Amino acid sequence: MIEIGYYDNHYPPNPHRKKQNRWLVPMLLGVVIGILLVVVALPAVLESDLVTQQQTNSNTAGFTGQTNGSSNPSIMNLDVTTQVTNVVQEVAPTVVGVTNIQRQGDFWEQQNEGTEAGTGSGVIYKHDGEYAYMVSNYHVVEGADELEIVLYNDTHVEAELLGGDLFSDLAVLRMDGEIIEQTIEMGSSANLKVGEPAIAIGNPLGHMFAGSVTQGIISGTQRTIPQDFDFDGRADWQAEVIQTDAAINPGNSGGALINMEGQLIGINSMKVNQEAVEGIGFSIPIDVARPIIEELETNGSVTRPYMGVEIYSLDEVPQSEWNETLSLPNEVEGGVYIWSVEALSPADQAGLERLDVITHLDGESVMNMIELRKVLYQEKEIGDEVAITYYRNGEKQETTITLDEQR
């Protein structure tokens, strides 16, 4: 048997109905009083509720910036979309396209035309009254016979390469500043926080998408990315970069990574190029780039300390050779071995020889070639004297080297 319920809470029949007739008159009287109350009181209640609703709407209007004649403070809502568009509108003219033009031909072709070898982006950071200066990536301008700049309004201007640096992947260009009205404001990358907004501006896939804007966040700071410059399968350097999920595609290289104040915080440089990976792009921190930009602008190159040795990381040598060929004791866990020494170089004058294994510079451990270069390039200067700890034929020795200018 199925039990049926009643949605209006209807009661079942009562066999003692006659005993309930005495309640009929009071019930009818209650109904009449209820009707009178509804007819008389309802209009007053509705009018009171309407007034309250109007007051609520009026007060709410004050929170959207409207004036209601009262003393309530007006609070403006922050429109993030408007903020982004305002920032982009202000900064976009300072981001340009860079075209790498190279001439191809042999000895007999004296009048060969240049062809477009690649495109990238650049950022106008300085104007001295006569020239405008741009920063881009070294790999964007590498090998160029001519450089053409495409401004935000599609004006094409020739540019001159003042200098480039392989290790930092930075280059500085100069062009006629007569038609340049604006430069970007440099910010700082020192206090960037993971999760804060970031905007990338550049020219992905060439000038067809010039001035493209992507928005994301700072995904990581002080990341290190190994780089293989000679494509021999061994890392030659580790670049310190900012990680962002703002889309950075081919052609964005050399473009601007900016904060929500429109300040330059990074130079877009590279991305992880794997099918299974999305949203991992990298920029050179502006605090790392700034001194290199200044040196390239002034000298055309970056001058670094020089030892005069060809070195390789010890971890590239089979463990068996550590004992048999290099005669290293068990306490040696890493370092670099010298393959050759240039004649009359600082290393030669300090007495270093082929197959010596360097483990410390000024007491600081160097486990591989990258660490040694970082100590030399970031902590030392030309003319500095550096104490070198090394092993020769299994014996620990020390010498002092005076760093010279890189040739």
CA-atom Rg of the chain in angstroms: 37
Cβ(388)–Cβ(397) below 8 Å: no
3-class secondary-structure state, position 268: strand
CA 366 to chain centre: 28
- Tell me the C-alpha distance between 246 and 220, whole Å: 12
Instruction: Catalogue the active-site residues.
Output: 139, 169, 253
Boundary-marking domain end, from 299, 330, 355: 299
- Tell me the C-alpha distance between 398 and 361, whole Å: 10
E strand map for 255-316:
256-258, 263-271, 281-285, 305-306, 309-313
Question: 135 and 162 share a domain?
Answer: yes
DSSP class of residue 232? S
Beta-bridged to residue 126, according to DSSP, are 133
Expressed in angstroms, the distance from the first to the final Cα of the chain is 101
What is the total count of domains within the chain? Answer: 3
- Tell me the C-alpha distance between 45 and 39, whole Å: 11
Tokens matching residue 229: 């410059």
Give domain status of residue 248, yes or no: yes
Give domain status of residue 322, yes or no: yes
Q: Which domain holds residue 384?
A: 305-405
Query: 101 — phi, psi (to 5°)?
Result: -110, 125
- Tell me the C-alpha distance between 356 and 337, whole Å: 6
Neighbours of 164 (CB within 10 A): 23
Give domain status of residue 328, yes or no: yes
Boundary-marking domain end, from 176, 198, 217: 176
Give domain status of residue 91, yes or no: yes
Question: 288 and 204 share a domain?
Answer: yes
- Give, in degrees to the nearest 5, the angle at Cα 251 between 161 and 292: 40
Q: What pLDDT does 258 receive?
A: 95
DSSP sequence for 130-146: SEEEEEE-HHHHTT-SE
Torsion angle of the four alpha carbons 375, 377, 379, 383, in this order, in degrees rounded to the nearest 10: 110
Cβ(286)–Cβ(266) below 8 Å: yes
Question: 280 and 209 share a domain?
Answer: yes
Torsion angle of the four alpha carbons 170, 175, 177, 182, in this order, in degrees rounded to the nearest 10: -30
Question: 311 and 351 share a domain?
Answer: yes
Give domain status of residue 13, yes or no: no
Give domain status of residue 150, yes or no: yes
Give me the tens of pLDDT residue by residue for the chain, a chain 407 residues long.
Answer: 333 332 233 334 444 444 444 545 455 555 556 555 555 555 554 454 433 344 434 343 333 333 344 445 445 454 556 888 899 999 999 999 999 999 876 555 555 677 888 899 999 999 999 999 999 999 999 999 999 999 988 899 999 999 999 999 999 999 999 999 899 999 999 999 999 999 999 887 666 677 789 999 999 998 888 888 878 777 778 788 999 988 887 788 999 999 999 999 999 987 766 665 667 889 999 999 999 999 999 999 998 898 999 998 998 889 888 988 999 999 999 999 999 999 999 999 999 999 999 999 999 999 998 889 889 888 899 999 999 999 999 999 999 999 998 76
CATH of the domain at 98: 2.40.10.10
Q: What pLDDT does 71 receive?
A: 44
Question: 234 and 272 share a domain?
Answer: yes
Q: Give the up-direction half-sphere exposure of residue 362: CA atoms within 13 A in the CB hemisphere.
A: 11
pTM attached to this predicted model? 0.69
Question: 193 and 275 share a domain?
Answer: yes
Question: 275 and 314 share a domain?
Answer: no
Question: 197 and 286 share a domain?
Answer: yes
Boundary-marking domain end, from 246, 267, 299: 299
Question: 201 and 144 share a domain?
Answer: no
CATH of the domain at 310: 2.30.42.10
Instruction: Give 71's contacts (C-beta < 8 A, 6+ positions apart).
Output: none
Give domain status of residue 10, yes or no: no
Question: 335 and 364 share a domain?
Answer: yes
Question: 130 and 220 share a domain?
Answer: no
202: closest CA among 266, 260, 138? 266
Question: 311 and 401 share a domain?
Answer: yes
3-class secondary-structure state, position 113: coil
Give domain status of residue 41, yes or no: no
